[in-house]
Amino acid sequence: MEKGIIHFIISDISLKKEVRLESKVPVELGEWVEIKLIYHDGTYILYIGDEKVDEMQEEGLEINTRNSLLLGAIKNHAGSSHTHYFKGEIRVIKLENHFEESY
């Protein structure tokens, strides 16, 4: 079975800030995978299932209403407006505004 890498990118061009996280360990394509991104005290942590796979510190980059939220897509801002789309299925999306100490 084919494998792929999970990439998670948050950016704000006006602030010139970006967070890039990736799974580093390939996941099976065609299998359901639970992906969690936790933000707490300036640290972004990416989980695949219950395993922490990447972490990055970045202060001042916040997701708010003035920024686009693309799930399963990424815009190319390097001179064009082309958008790359995920070629799979996203089943459940859950956004929460709280932090649980269990992570």
Range of the domain at 38: 3-66
Q: How many residues does this entry show for the chain?
A: 103
Q: Is 40 among the domain residues?
A: yes
Residue entry with tokens 């082309």: 82
pLDDT tens per residue, range 6-16: 888 877 777 78
Q: Is 11 among the domain residues?
A: yes
| Token pair of 19 as six digits | 């967070």
* Prediction pTM value: 0.70
CA distance 42 to 62: 9
pLDDT of residue 102: 59
Q: Is 20 among the domain residues?
A: yes
Q: Is 24 among the domain residues?
A: yes
Q: Is 17 among the domain residues?
A: yes
Q: Is 35 among the domain residues?
A: yes
pLDDT at 56 over 70: yes
pLDDT at 64 over 70: no
CA dihedral of 20, 26, 32, 33, whole degrees rounded to 10: -40
- What is the total count of domains within the chain? 1
Q: Is 43 among the domain residues?
A: yes
Q: Is 50 among the domain residues?
A: yes
